[in-house]
Copies of this chain bind each other. A is one copy, B any other.
């Protein structure tokens, strides 16, 4: 509870003005090298840390970045993606002494309101925007408010926001190509939330690939990512007239649920049905059969996103960063078509 050291303390010890201390501490011109070294030594010795509040008030950055997630808790909890992504974000932010403000909100309106508040209260230097949906208002809102933002997803036309993305369409192509190569002609897709932009990108890619390969059937069913809807979609597909011989899923929990449904219907995996998960996690490995999945380095994805954010707020650098495309890891849940 002892009083925190301030630049005034450093200034008096060093026998200079607080202005000089500020220049020295921030590595700006205006002090001699000798003075700078002396100031830095004193700052370190007395354990000085900048007050974010004071810096913020003086108009400088607050060294904090916001991340708002608009998904229900039970879905977030079951998607290892988010924690891994956050972990990657954190690794870069904390190395740069920048805090992460996290907010989980129930819907889009709450997400917008959260950004407005954070910005109005000057809590953040910028926000990371993920899970974009079609006609998402957020990029426009952020531009209007003047909030620096990094888009996690496909770059927006007309807005000069930096974006970090991964080629989902190419990943989907690789899955369809693989299944076709081992003889499948009836392939289904169990998609995530249809309102999300990346769901739409994947569905479009899936349909284009089906067209290209002239598949016999290529139905798409939408879900909310929960195992219930994944299981229900699978049940519907497997009891339909034109039963698919392979199904791809937009996450791994639904692929696991599919294993259960196949078991329940006495359909053998992979002999009679091949299953592919759209995300890879330990879950896919623990099943029997283990599940073929699209894998990518999500921690790295988060780290790149955080770096793009820092580049943006530190020196206004924008740009589009493409991260490696997910690669297919074949496991025991896929085999030649029956």
Which A residues are closer than 8 A to B by beta carbons?
Answer: 1, 4, 47, 49-54, 56-57, 62, 64, 73-74, 76-78, 80-84, 86-88, 90-91, 94, 97, 99-105, 114, 117-118, 120-123, 145-146, 226-227, 231, 253, 256-257, 259-260, 263-264, 281-283, 285-288, 299
Contacts and interface: CB of A to CB of B under 8 A. Distances in A.
User: Majority SS of interface residues in chain A?
Assistant: helix
Contacts of A88: 73
Contacts of A227: 282, 285-286
A188 to B, nearest CB: 19
A109 to B, nearest CB: 13
A53 B62 contact: yes
**Closest A-B pairs by Cβ, 7 of them:** A77-B80, A73-B87, A53-B56, A49-B120, A77-B83, A1-B146, A53-B53
A112 to B, nearest CB: 13
Contacts of A50: 121
Contact of A100 (B86, B101, B146, B299): B101
B281 A257 contact: no
Contacts of A288: 259-260, 263-264
Given A1-B145, A227-B282, A227-B286, 10 more contacts: A4-B122, A52-B53, A53-B57, A64-B123, A74-B84, A77-B80, A77-B281, A86-B104, A94-B105, A253-B283
A81 B118 CA distance: 27
A77 B81 CA distance: 7
Contacts of A256: 283, 286-287
